């Protein structure tokens, strides 16, 4: 979004003056660094160690083993919750991209500039509702006797009140609702940066609108799609609230399984191992998307 | 020039409809007269808002949320700014590594951060409180503040800072009287984003709190009683607050950019 800004490599003129003065810089860095080390790195390290311990009875036994990780693949409810999470996340990411891209395109290309701001603000305003409340709102829509059920009764598509809540579909709808807004934003930001000349050049060279889109526009907006898709994947696969409120009890997603270990069973070693597995999955996805996700190019 | 393309118009309206449907239902049925927030609508009534204001658990949680949001965001902006200043303006060994380390929490799920903090606080014997929630919120918001502020530290500001130094300003004077005023839009944006993220954050607040809870945690426990117009009322209230804050921030930032 701030691509025009100068890179930081060019902006260190203070260096000569402060050539020998690394100490002062470290003084400025230290508070943030200590905070990160104490409340981010240390907890992760403790979790990594916990994941190698076991809970026996009500006690944590500090013998090192990979038992929790092998249990993950042996106990089907643990392993299946990861599969469920992956299926839901991939589905959510794809549906959100497919729904968001046309909207971002319309906002960037068809809406007159002075309406763009308003349209964009309107598109992301519900983004700022509390996300606990957002999932609850979908219950109001999807539950038995809710708005959707009522509407279907009114138009005669069903003769009994129906419930769409407490299902995987409801979880996916709740997620897509949130991520359509996010992806519209990242794709829009990318689209408005494309020079208009590219389109004209393609037209001059004989390409129709569809060819121009597939060969010019789409590849150039891939960074916007990938940034949004990566954020969607990370936020979606780690979210507990949406499946907990909308998903029902038939199947659990990985964050729900983790919370179950913490809340009901106080089994921190197993929960830690599951968290490590979740982090590993996210890292693999990050590595796959890394070339589109440079911080200072966003 | 109106929108000429009819399919585009229909598509946009459909997506906007999808985005606003749950919000509209939420707000509408917060004015419900009866005890269930489902059709038919038989309001309008303000009794659920009155019930909300009379509920000290809700008002306490609201106050806690405001305290945690402002305090944790202030700490996040200050720490993020100092780190950005150090890395953008001084030559620091392993600068790239430090930058990656400081922004690393952005790529880790809140659930994992929350769990790590819970285990750490348990082991160190630190009692769960508003303070521990605030600590967690700084962990998730400081990287964001750092990234926003760092990305806005351009060359022309560096030149002004150097000019100030040449004219004899001490380092703290350079920071307070040159860098901060120049970077104010970025600092404000970072602070404001942090406030909204903290205001809305659930899982960390849930796991590292005990008796004093924030609003999302209180709403979560209200959900256990099932569908209830009072939950609609608190949800609508939270939405209203967020909308006002977002629009105000947008106005302030937009004006600043023009100037």
Q: Which residues of chain A have pLDDT under 70?
A: 1-22, 294-298
Out of B36, B107, B227, whose CB is closest to A282?
Answer: B107
- C-alpha–C-alpha distance, residues B34 and B232, integer Å: 13
Distance from the Cα of A206 to chain B's closest Cα (Å) equals 24
Q: How many beta-carbon pairs under 8 angstroms link A with B?
A: 287
Angle at A236 between CA A233 and CA A239, to 5 degrees: 145
Q: 3-class SS at B160? A: helix
C-beta separation of B32 from B48 below 8 A: yes
Chain A CB within 8 Å of residue B204 CB? no
* Sign of the Cα pseudo-torsion (B122, B124, B125, B129, in order): negative
Chain B CB within 8 Å of residue A236 CB? no
Tokens representing B85 are 């200043």
| pLDDT above 80 for B2 | no
Model confidence at B61, pLDDT cuts 50, 70, 90, reads: very high
Contact check, Cβ <8 Å, A33/B227: no
Chain A CB within 8 Å of residue B148 CB? no
- C-alpha–C-alpha distance, residues A111 and A123, integer Å: 13
Quick one: closest CA in A to B85, which residue?
A28
Give the rounded percent of residues in chain B with a pLDDT score beyond 90. 40
Q: Tell which of A7, A40, A138 to mutate to test the B interface (max B CBs under 10 Å).
A: A40
pLDDT digits (tens, 9 = 90+) for B230-246: 988 999 998 888 888 87
Residues 154-213 of A with CB under 8 A from B: 177, 180-181
Out of A24, A33, A141, whose CB is closest to B171?
Answer: A24
C-beta separation of B23 from A141 below 8 A: no
pLDDT of residue A21: 58
Phi/psi at B128 (5° precision): -75, 130
Quick one: closest CA in B to A35, which residue?
B139
Please tell me which residue, A61 or B98, carries the higher pLDDT value.
B98
How does DSSP assign A101-136, residue by residue? HHHHHHHHHTS-HHHHHHHHHHHHGGGGS-HHHHHH
Q: How many CA atoms lie within 13 Å of A147's alpha carbon, on the beta-carbon side?
A: 16
pLDDT of residue A19: 44
pLDDT of residue A12: 43
What does the DSSP 8-state code read for residue A40? Answer: I
- C-alpha–C-alpha distance, residues B259 and B257, integer Å: 6
Distance from the Cα of B241 to chain A's closest Cα (Å) equals 9
Distance from the Cα of A140 to chain B's closest Cα (Å) equals 7
Residues 72-101 of B with CB under 8 A from A: 78-80, 82-83, 85-93, 98-99, 101
Q: 3-class SS at B45? A: coil
Chain B CB within 8 Å of residue A282 CB? yes
User: Domains in chain B, please, with CATH?
Assistant: 57-258 (1.10.3720.10)
**CATH-assigned architecture of domain A51-297:** Orthogonal Bundle (1.10)
Angle between helices B155-166 and B56-89 (to 10 degrees): 70
Average pLDDT, chain B: 87
Contact check, Cβ <8 Å, B22/A138: yes
pLDDT digits (tens, 9 = 90+) for B63-81: 999 999 999 999 999 999 9
Residue count of chain A, please give it: 298
Out of A121, A136, A279, whose CB is closest to B112?
Answer: A279
* Sign of the Cα pseudo-torsion (B63, A130, B140, A25, in order): negative
pLDDT of residue B110: 93
């Amino acid at each position: 979004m701030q691509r025009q800004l100068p890179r930081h490599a060019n902006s260190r003129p203070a260096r000569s003056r402060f050539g020998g003065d690394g100490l002062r810089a470290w003084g400025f860095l230290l508070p943030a660094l200590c905070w990160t080390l104490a409340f981010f790195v240390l907890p992760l390290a403790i979790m990594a160690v916990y994941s190698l311990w076991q809970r026996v009875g009500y006690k944590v036994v500090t013998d090192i083993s990979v038992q929790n990780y092998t249990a993950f693949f042996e106990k089907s409810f643990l392993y299946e919750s990861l599969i469920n999470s992956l299926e839901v996340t991939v589905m959510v990411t794809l549906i959100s991209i497919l729904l968001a891209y046309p909207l971002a395109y319309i906002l960037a290309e068809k809406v007159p500039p002075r309406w763009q701001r308003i349209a964009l603000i309107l598109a992301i305003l519900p983004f700022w509702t509390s996300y606990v409340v957002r999932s609850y709102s979908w219950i109001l829509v999807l539950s038995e006797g809710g708005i959707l059920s009522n509407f279907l009764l009114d138009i005669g598509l069903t003769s009994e009140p129906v419930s769409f809540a407490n299902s995987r579909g409801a979880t996916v709808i709740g997620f897509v609702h949130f991520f359509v807004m996010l992806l519209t934003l990242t794709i829009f930001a990318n689209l408005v940066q494309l020079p208009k000349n590219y389109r004209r050049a393609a037209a001059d060279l004989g390409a129709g609108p569809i060819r121009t889109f597939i060969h010019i526009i789409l590849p150039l907006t891939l960074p916007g799609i990938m940034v949004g898709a990566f954020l969607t994947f990370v936020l979606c696969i780690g979210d507990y609230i949406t499946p907990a409120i909308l998903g029902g009890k038939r199947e659990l997603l990985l964050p729900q399984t983790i919370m179950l270990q913490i809340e009901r069973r106080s089994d921190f070693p197993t929960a830690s191992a599951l968290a490590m597995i979740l982090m590993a999955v996210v890292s693999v996805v990050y590595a796959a998307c890394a070339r589109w996700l440079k911080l200072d190019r966003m | 020039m109106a929108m000429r393309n009819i399919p585009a118009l229909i598509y946009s309206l459909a997506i906007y409809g999808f985005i606003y449907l749950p919000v509209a239902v939420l707000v509408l049925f917060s004015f419900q007269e009866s005890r269930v927030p489902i059709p038919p609508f038989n309001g309008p009534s303000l009794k659920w808002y009155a019930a909300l204001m009379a509920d000290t658990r809700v008002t306490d949680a609201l106050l806690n949320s405001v305290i945690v949001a402002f305090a944790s965001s202030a700490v996040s902006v200050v720490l993020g700014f100092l780190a950005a200043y150090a890395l953008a303006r001084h030559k620091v060994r392993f600068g790239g590594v430090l930058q990656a380390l400081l922004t690393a929490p952005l790529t880790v799920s809140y659930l994992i951060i929350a769990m790590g903090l819970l285990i750490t606080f348990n082991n160190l014997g630190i009692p769960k409180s508003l303070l521990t929630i605030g600590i967690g919120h700084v962990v998730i918001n400081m990287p964001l503040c750092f990234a926003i502020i760092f990305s806005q530290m351009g060359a022309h500001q560096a030149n002004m800072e150097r000019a100030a130094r040449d004219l004899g300003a001490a380092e703290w004077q350079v920071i307070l009287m040159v860098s901060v005023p120049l970077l104010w839009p970025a600092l404000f944006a970072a602070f404001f984003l942090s406030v909204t993220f903290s205001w809305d954050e659930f899982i960390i607040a849930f796991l590292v709190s005990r008796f004093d809870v924030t609003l999302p945690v209180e709403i979560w426990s209200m959900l256990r009683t099932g569908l209830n117009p009072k939950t609609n009322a608190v949800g609508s209230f939270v939405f209203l607050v967020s909308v006002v804050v977002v629009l105000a921030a947008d106005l302030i930032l937009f004006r600043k950019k023009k100037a």
